A and B are shown apart, each in its own frame.
Chain A
Amino acid sequence: MFDLYQVIVVGGGHAGCEAAAVSARSGCKTLLISMNMMTLGQMSCNPAMGGIAKGQIVRELDALGGFSGIVSDESMIQFRMLNRSKGKAMWSPRAQNDRMLFSMKWREKLENIPNLDIYQDMVVGLIVKDNIIKGVLTSLGHEILANAVVLTNGTFLNGLIHIGDKQLGGGRIGENKATGLTENLIKLGFESGRMKTGTPPRLDGRSINYDLLEEQKGDEEVQGFSFLDIPKPKQQASCYITYTSDIVHETLKEGFDRSPMFNGRIQSLGPRYCPSIEDKINRFSDKDRHQLFIEPEGWHTNEIYINGFSTSLPEEVQFKALRKIVGLENVKMYRPGYAIEYDYFPPIQLDSSLQTKLIKGLFFAGQINGTTGYEEAAGQGYIAGINASLYAQDKEFFILKRNESYIGVLIDDLITKGTEEPYRMFTSRAEFRILLRQDNADIRLTPRVIPYGLIDENRLNRYNQRKDQIKQAIDLFKELRVEPNQINDYLIERNGNPLTQKMPLAQVMLRPEIDLSDLIEQCNLKSHFEKIDKSALESAEIEWTYQGYIQKEEDIAQKMNQLEYVKIPSEFNYDKLSAISIESREKFKKIKPENIGQAKRISGIKPSDISILLIYLGR
């Protein structure tokens, strides 16, 4: 019944969808197997994409020809550029999305990719011969053969849902868990662990008194994620802000004895930066209130997501506490919040292509690797997908470096450091964040994947156009001059020193008190910039005004990359490094770094360990 596939992707969440799309589009006959075709691209938790550091990942995926950016733009109900008060390297796009539309759009994209088949079934085992992947086994008894397999099982592997003292098996509430696969992987020699995450209750929007809440509107100008021209929503939905209070906390505490978090039923670690409300009350007991965001779930539903109120307390306690919150006095609950425990596989078992070190042709992406977040999952899905495809075609892997992308930082962190708790991306995890901006993701990444056929004509044109325009704009900065009488009033008004003579625009715009668009306006230079896109002008401005810092980071990155080029043979015998501590040796043996750069980033490895390693490598 099944053809021979080059790549099989197991799971249809954010990781699986990107993996299947990129694999098929880069030329491999691909099969996506999902337990439920109604939930492809499902947003299991909050109906939002992007955010600080995460928004950059979505932009990167778009630049690489992935779909997360387009799907987000097409299902967007609100857009905000976060961190606007900070430097431009820190700006981060974030969108609220229509949950149902998001999933529908993903399915539409996948169904239109030639080379990609979709099948609904559950994978219960892998077919492996001599440590090489051959295919998968399904619950309906099919043996489906393939050259490469990508596992993106999310929270489904032996998923166990907790609400108060109730426990039910499932990968999401109302959906079955996946069984058999973990046991199969352990038999093959993989190490596994358990993690936990949670989600807040969903509310009936008709029962909320919005008059009492603080409104949070979207940006006036919707930039979106994709570098392509995706139509933006004509109007935007608002979010609302409210707070918990002492009374809410007291009410929640009534259920603590039945909380699986506190009575020891859940042992596994949850995401530190996305704690449940009971965790927050406990850990930050000096705070008398916590902020909550009321987020709409879409255009065609009243359903509301209450961000900041993730909980696994008994439903009636959740309900009682919700009604003590300002604006929610008469609230009705559509679904309760819950916690979920699931299996993951410590990611130090992977190499930088996301292939497992144990089984050739087997790739892991998403929460199975211990990460949290749609964007983190999608980023890994893309890399696992393209590399599965390249493996099936017997081509060299596609690796993104730390100085090229947040996706590169994410994967390098996972494979060299592993993670004990769900891993979330932050800008502070990247050492080159002035290079890794959201505005230049296309310039950084689009050319990298042209050889794989992932950049269509439309995107290539957009890329070339933007690149040319950025250059033109910088040339104009250097060419155009500013007269003192045009700008001095503006400067004085902003406590700047007035100009004494004619100066190039390139020089004047470096002043911190100046806004480039004001400067162009004041000096009647608008006509010169007519042909330049707003986004290109902004990138040009950043490139020019930050050039000293950009250069500095590029220099450091180049130095760092020299270590990446010092390869360590995979069969290297660490036992002969008798001069280093047993602990360091064990770490090297377990992680098997591919190069000195990776070896250096393994936590607990000392500089002297690296010196010795270098000596043995003949350096």
Chain B
Amino acid sequence: MIISTIIALASPQGLGAIALIRIDGPDALEMTMKCFQPAKKIAQIKPRFQYFGKFFHHDTLLDEVLITYFKSPNSYSGNDSVEISCHASPFIIKKIIESYLDLGACVASAGEFTQRAFLNGKMDLSQAEAVAELIASESTFAHQIALNQMKGGVSNELGSLRQKLIDFSALIELELDFAEEDVTFADRSEFFEMLLEIKLKIDELQNSFAYGNSIKHGVGVAFVGLPNAGKSSFLNALLQEERAIVSEIPGTTRDYLEESIVIGGITFRMIDTAGLRATEDTIEKIGIERSMQQIQKADIVFYLFDAYTHPWEILLDELKKIPQDKKYMVLLSRYDTYPLDWGSEAFSDFVNLHYYIIGNFFSISSKDINLIDQFKRHLVEMVLEWKPRHTDTIITNLRHYEHLVKASDALQRVREGLDGVSYSGGYI
């Protein structure tokens, strides 16, 4: 099989000023020179120089373009490749691609450039995966993680773990193959120490997945509370638009509603839920059920509570409805409407008494900009706290995560084997 020459539009579809078309494969330059006439007479196209000239489609002038030639192996994919910057008219783009197809090129399939880079050894699998994530990244943090991975962050981290595991098994092999010889063996405690060190590292990477995944897909934040607690108003304030319909009537929000917002470089998926209450309204009932499902999926749950109008005891029962494994926080909503003598000290005493259920609380308002900003800062801090402490490498890829889980299990079995707990102790 011979490597084919492939072509694709590298910049986004649609109207714009300039578009970039990439051609990759052994015939990239030869094909280009059949359509391209440099403005200045030159002996030959030098790699990594940009040339201005005219692009012809079947001898008809199509556009004035810039081309750059990358010579194998010094290109993104490792093959010969050419990049054409043309004017971004869909017609021009279509005709340029057609010119190449007429010359025998094929249309690249999604990810094919990166696949070629992988096959040519320009990047390893985890780096190639990172390219996809880098392109798809929507926020600063997601971008950073993908960039770190593409530069080899995950590969390096795993590389050093691999070396440690090799050292570990070498010590075990030593004992097996040189039992009769004059060699000093590692004692068991040394084995356990090494194992523990490796396992901690793997577990940390494994745990970073939850964080990485939240960063990659957005941190799920659910706003729950009694009907008319002000969830929708607060969400609108955060989003700075009238996204949710707000009214004085409890039960206005009948279905959940989700909207993304980037705060402090992190994408949050803000989920407004239907107020939870016993209702006879079938549609509202379904909405409440769906809200419960959203709570299950959220990373953080905020319980909005109007401490001025609602009896405080309700809070205790309400919080128990939130699934146990969810992190939640109580927000005192509509804080701007509370009169000065609303009884904040008594409320603090109440919270202290039930601290193990209520925990810390935070005052919010959909009208007070300061309170909104404070809340946003607090939200970002909460997420940053999940960040692994001892590594910059964050796992965001499910394949990586699953392998780490397997590795961690295998190490557990090694431990048991060394301990002689399970039968496998007899093998070494």
Contact = CB atoms under 8 A, between A and B. Distances in A.
A512 B120 contact: no
Contacts of A231: none
A514 B422 CA distance: 13
A291 B178 CA distance: 13
Given A82-B179, A83-B176, A545 B1 contact: no
Contacts of B118: 608
Contacts of B426: 86-88, 512
B425 interface: yes
A449 interface: no
A434 B180 contact: no
Contact of A428 (B79, B177, B424): B177
Interface stretch (A247-255, A340-348, A565-573, A611-619): A611-619
A616 B179 contact: no
Interface residue range, chain B = 20 to 34
A87 B120 contact: no
A427 B121 contact: no
B180 A579 contact: no
A306 interface: no
Interface in A271-297: 273, 290-291
Contacts of B428: 86-87, 90
B180 to A, nearest CB: 5
Contacts of A94: 180
Nearest to A424: B177
Contacts of B427: 86-87, 89-90, 434, 549
Nearest to A85: B179
A426 interface: yes
Interface in A76-104: 82-83, 85-90, 94
Contacts of A426: 173, 177
A83 B425 contact: no
B17 interface: no
A51 B176 CA distance: 12
Given A581-B121, A606-B121, A608-B118, A90 B182 contact: no
Interface in B380-428: 420, 422-428
Nearest to A292: B182
A594 interface: no
Given A512-B425, A606-B121, A612-B119, A86 B79 contact: no
B179 A608 contact: no
Contacts of A450: none
Nearest to A429: B177
Interface string A588-619: 00000000000000000010110110011010
B177 A427 contact: yes
Contacts of A512: 420, 422-423, 425-426
A52 B173 contact: no
Most buried by A among B178, B179, B420, B428: B179
B78 interface: yes
A388 to B, nearest CB: 32
A467 to B, nearest CB: 24
A245 to B, nearest CB: 14
A317 B79 CA distance: 64
A290 B183 CA distance: 9
Contacts of A618: 1
B3 interface: yes
Contacts of A52: 176-180
B120 A616 contact: no
Given A86-B428, A579-B78, A618-B1, A427 B423 contact: no
Interface string B52-76: 0000000000000000000010000
B414 to A, nearest CB: 14
B179 A290 contact: no
Contact of B120 (A51, A90, A273, A579): A579
B174 to A, nearest CB: 9
A422 interface: no
B423 A545 contact: yes
Most buried by A among B79, B120, B176: B176
Nearest to A511: B423
Given A434-B427, A512-B425, A83 B179 contact: yes
A518 B35 CA distance: 87
A45 to B, nearest CB: 15
Interface residue range, chain A = 35 or more
A53 B1 CA distance: 43
A86 B179 contact: yes
A350 B72 CA distance: 34
Contacts of A434: 427
A87 B425 CA distance: 8
A428 B119 contact: no
A581 to B, nearest CB: 6
A308 interface: yes
B79 to A, nearest CB: 7
A580 interface: yes
A269 interface: no
A510 interface: yes
Given A579-B79, A618-B1, A90 B176 contact: yes
B176 A580 contact: no
Interface in B1-45: 1-3, 26
A576 B420 CA distance: 53
A83 B174 CA distance: 12
Contact of B180 (A82, A88, A615): A82
Contacts of A83: 176, 179-180
B420 A579 contact: no
A431 to B, nearest CB: 12
A291 B179 contact: no
Contacts of B425: 512
A178 to B, nearest CB: 32
A290 B182 CA distance: 7
A577 to B, nearest CB: 10
Contacts of A427: 173, 176-177
A545 B428 CA distance: 15
Interface in B52-107: 72, 78-79
B419 to A, nearest CB: 11
Given A87-B428, A510-B423, A545-B423, A608 B180 contact: no
B77 to A, nearest CB: 9
A87 B428 CA distance: 6
Given A545-B423, A616-B1, A618-B1, A579 B179 contact: no
Most buried by B among A427, A428, A616: A428
Nearest to A618: B1
A580 B428 CA distance: 40
A354 B26 CA distance: 40
Interface string A505-543: 000001010000000000000000000000000000000
Contacts of B181: 291
Contacts of A580: 120-121
Interface in A14-54: 51-53
Most buried by B among A88, A290, A545, A612: A612
B162 to A, nearest CB: 14
Interface in A162-182: none
Nearest to B123: A608
A51 B119 contact: no
Contacts of B119: 579, 608, 611-612, 615
B121 A51 contact: no
Contacts of B179: 52, 82-83, 85-86
Which 10 residue pairs across A and B have the least CB separation, nearest first? A87-B427, A291-B182, A428-B173, A87-B426, A426-B177, A608-B121, A579-B120, A512-B423, A83-B179, A82-B180
Given A86-B176, A512-B425, 11 more contacts: A52-B179, A87-B427, A87-B428, A90-B427, A94-B180, A308-B182, A426-B173, A512-B420, A579-B78, A612-B119, A612-B120
24 contacts: A51-B180, A52-B177, A82-B179, A82-B180, A83-B180, A86-B176, A86-B426, A87-B427, A87-B428, A89-B427, A90-B427, A94-B180, A291-B181, A308-B182, A510-B423, A512-B422, A512-B425, A512-B426, A578-B26, A581-B121, A606-B121, A608-B119, A609-B121, A615-B119
